[in-house]
Structure 1
């Protein structure tokens, strides 16, 4: 019975993101989950389909009133640089997936995970230490102010 209780607790914790409690969602978790499973679509910027930067632009504009350009390379110029060891939920993480520089972006959500639009899966969550992405990680940027961060990480009623 004790093992079962630990398993249930672990599963509950794994579905919560960052600083939120097990039973309440934060605005960030609501935002990134709002289009979970939407398909990948080249140059897509709507719930009918997203590319990676279309997804991050959509989430930040709709939920956080923050305008981002529709290009991962351009988004990597926004906000301030963040060391990988200092990532916090809401930071943008960037990858070189085509061998030509920054070509992919996602939203870090805590616990070593990020949401993004993958060409083969659509909107999905992936671990930063996934072998494919770990080798291709380039940088991270913080585009939310400390005040915005506090708002997006406060449990929703």
Structure 2
């Protein structure tokens, strides 16, 4: 019985972490899901371990978009986006260390974002969770409308 519940829980977690549906996986969902489960590693830029900006740079590199390897540097790019106007592919920024922007993730829709958390590695969380709502600073759109359409097209 324990094995059954373990399998059911694993399947539920697997399904809850994917962007979109199994029938319409987009290039963006493939890119963000490619790193899920990778551990956190300070200055990490590969699936062997990511820090937050290393993960976002990894995702965007799949679309030939180069991001600096620092959340503050990434926050200097693009156009500011209001929280209620977020769309998949926007970068969301947080002030988690009290000194300015110190964390970044990729917004994927439905209030969710993917990021490399210090204590968990690459995971998906809700912007509405107390911790992230408290430390949210801003969002930036770095994708043009054409790039956005390409990232969101069904494969």
- Could you list the runs of 5+ residues in structure 2 that have no partner in the other structure? 1-11
Deviations 1:39-92 (A, max 9, x none): 00000011100000000011101x211000000001000011101110000000
**In angstroms, what is the RMSD of aligned CA positions?**
1.7
Q: 2:4 — aligned with what?
A: none
Q: When the two structures are superposed, what TM-score results if normalisation uses the length of structure 1? A: 0.86
Q: 1:140 — aligned with what?
A: 139
- Could you list the runs of 5+ residues in structure 1 that have no partner in the other structure? 1-10
Q: When the two structures are superposed, what TM-score results if normalisation uses the length of structure 2? A: 0.87
In 1, Cα distance between equivalents of 2:53 and 2:143: 16
Indicate yes or no: 2:115 matched with 1:120.
no
Residue 23 of structure 1: how far off its partner (Å)? 1.3
Equivalence map 1:11-30=2 (5 Å): 17=19, 20-30=20-30
Q: Confirm or deny: 8 A CA contact 1:21 1:155 kept in the other structure.
A: no
- Give the length in aligned residue pairs: 143
Structure 1's consecutive aligned runs of 4 or more residues displaced over 2 angstroms after TM superposition are 13-17
Q: Report the secondary structure of 2:123's partner residue.
A: strand
